[in-house]
Amino acid sequence: MKYIVAIIQPHKLDEVMKTLEEIDVNLMTVSNVLGRGRQKGVTEVYRGAREVGSLLKKVKLEIACNEDFVAPTIDAIIKGARSGEIGDGKIFVLDLVDVVRIRTGERNGNAIG
Amino acid sequence: MNTGDTAWVLTSSALVLLMTMPGLAFFYGGLVRRKNVLSILMQCFIILAMISLQWMLYGYSITFGPDIKGIIGNLDWFALKGVGGLPNPDYAATIPHSAFMIFQCMFAVITPALIVGAYAERMKFSAFLVFTILWATFVYDPLGHWVWGTGGWLKNLGALDFAGGIVVHTSSGVSALVLAIMLGKRVGTENGITYKPHNMPFAVLGAGLLWFGWFGFNAGSALAANELATNAFIATNTATAAAAFTWPMIEWIVGGRPTALGCATGAVAGLVAITPACGFVTPINALFIGILVSVFCYIACAKIKAIFKYDDSLDVFGVHGVGGIWGTLATGLFAEKVVNEAGADGLLFGNAHQFMIQCLLVAAAIIFAVVMTVIIFKLVDAVIGMRVEKKSELVGLDLTQHSESGYTLIE
């Protein structure tokens, strides 16, 4: 089992959800986050004062999946989120030790979907 | 000169200002996505500034100034020359001429601001400024002259528009439809996706402020603190209440839930529809105008827009266009001389002629607004380009047009 964390452009969320749906991955946790990569954020101006290096708004997706789904999920996120420009984001893949469904107490692979 | 009348008209002017900013700004601002909220507030705010200047410099003169062949006013009153403390009996005999001018200024301000909802989330700021000043000069000002200016050809025909159902709402609503079609859909809405309002409490707050300010708009249009102003005030409240009640009931009947946005939208539709009629109809007929406008506008927003697939982002045509047209025609149905001696009887009171005049008024306003808006659009699009680049649209207008963002996630 893997835990896939993807940081993407906020306006790409709809597309990523669509590409994930196409491969039957419907379960995810989504949150608004701030961050910055090599481009060091954006420039904002408030009453003439430039605020350089602000953090950029991003969206974070978290998806837990069984091994069979790892590669297709990563491909689907790339397909939906890539524009080819700086700021498209990153995908992190983590080993997932255990999953528990609270309602039933099921564990691991049975609990994941 | 009457001090009570003057006090009421000055108060009403401030009430109408409140309709644009913050009323309309927050109504629209709440309905767009987070990344565009400031662009809406900014557009409404700067229209208030820009058109105030346009109006005092030449807008008032070409709208209400000495007539040229029924089409336009001349520039004799350029920079308010001769527009001072003495009343102008052609418009209002009991208040300073300049009080009438500043009251009308707020109407000139809100009209182009209404159109903001049609091109929301995708218009280039520079193009927006140029479009707005051209539209105010070549659509609002001439149309205002035709209907309200001394010598205007529609006024001479006996067309009735008490507070701007044609001049303000039909003109902006129809122009909004033209803009929405010519500008194209927002990126991402091609597949029928609709974007969710980012802050519903803002939208409902804005609608509430619009209702409040509209008493200045409608009852102020009596230009005196008298029984006509009171009739307009009560007719306005009645039609708005009826429309605000009807819209959510329609939603409920057609299978959904009664929504807060439905109630707010119904209220705005009711305010629009009663605008041309409020100084000519009784409160009971205002009730019918209010119920029916929610039916018509609901159909326009929920059905017609879906069938023709235009992206009038915030339903400017569906509410102001359809509501304004209905209100203007309804004036030709329900008007009574008992309410206003200076008005006329409508179709239901045995005067079919007035209804025909109202139909002509609607047709003239629609044709003029459509043709002029198409021309201005083509012109500005060729010189500046009306629409932002796709990437700017995706990132949002707040950041790309104004280098600001409406909200922070953390301090």
Per-residue pLDDT of chain B (411 residues; tens, 9 = 90+): 999 999 999 999 999 999 999 999 999 999 999 999 999 999 999 999 999 999 999 999 999 999 999 999 999 999 999 999 999 999 999 999 999 999 999 999 999 999 999 999 999 999 999 999 999 999 999 999 999 999 999 999 999 999 999 999 999 999 999 999 999 999 988 776 788 899 999 999 999 999 999 999 999 999 999 999 999 999 999 999 999 999 999 999 998 999 999 999 999 999 999 999 999 999 999 999 999 999 999 999 999 998 998 999 999 999 999 999 999 999 999 999 999 999 999 999 999 999 999 999 999 999 999 999 999 999 999 999 999 999 899 889 999 999 988 987 776
pLDDT tens digits, residue range B285-323?
Answer: 999 999 999 999 999 999 999 899 899 999 999 999 999
| Partner-chain contact B399 A34, CB within 8 Å | no
How is residue B158 written in tokens?
């006996």
Residues of A in contact with B188 (CB under 8 A): 11, 14
Nearest Cα neighbor of B320 from B149, B158, B33, B113 is B113
Residues of A in contact with B395 (CB under 8 A): 11
pLDDT at A53: 63
| Partner-chain contact A44 B399, CB within 8 Å | yes
Q: Nearest C-alpha of chain B: how many angstroms from A9?
A: 9
pLDDT at A110: 86
CATH code of B3-402, in short, is: 1.10.3430.10
- Is residue A43 scored above 80 in pLDDT? no
- Is residue A48 scored above 80 in pLDDT? no
Vertex B258: Cα angle to B253 and B259 (nearest 5):
145
pLDDT at B411: 66
| Partner-chain contact A32 B409, CB within 8 Å | yes
Nearest Cα neighbor of B28 from B153, B160, B196, B206 is B206
Q: Does A105 touch chain B (CB under 8 A)?
A: no
Q: Does B389 touch chain A (CB under 8 A)?
A: no
| Domain assignment of residue A93, given as a range | 2-112
Dihedral over alpha carbons B11, B15, B16, B18 (to 10 degrees): 140
pLDDT at B314: 93
Q: Please state the domain extents for chain B.
A: 3-402
Q: How many domains does chain A have?
A: 1
Given B193, B404, B409, which is nearest A57 (Cβ)?
A: B409
Q: How confident is the model at residue A5 (pLDDT cuts 50, 70, 90)?
A: very high
User: What's the CATH number where A13 sits?
Assistant: 3.30.70.120
Q: Does B188 touch chain A (CB under 8 A)?
A: yes
What one-character DSSP code corresponds to residue B196?
A: P
pLDDT at B316: 96
CA separation for the pair B144, B101 (Å, rounded): 13
pLDDT at A52: 62
Q: Does A13 touch chain B (CB under 8 A)?
A: no
- Is residue A87 scored above 90 in pLDDT? no
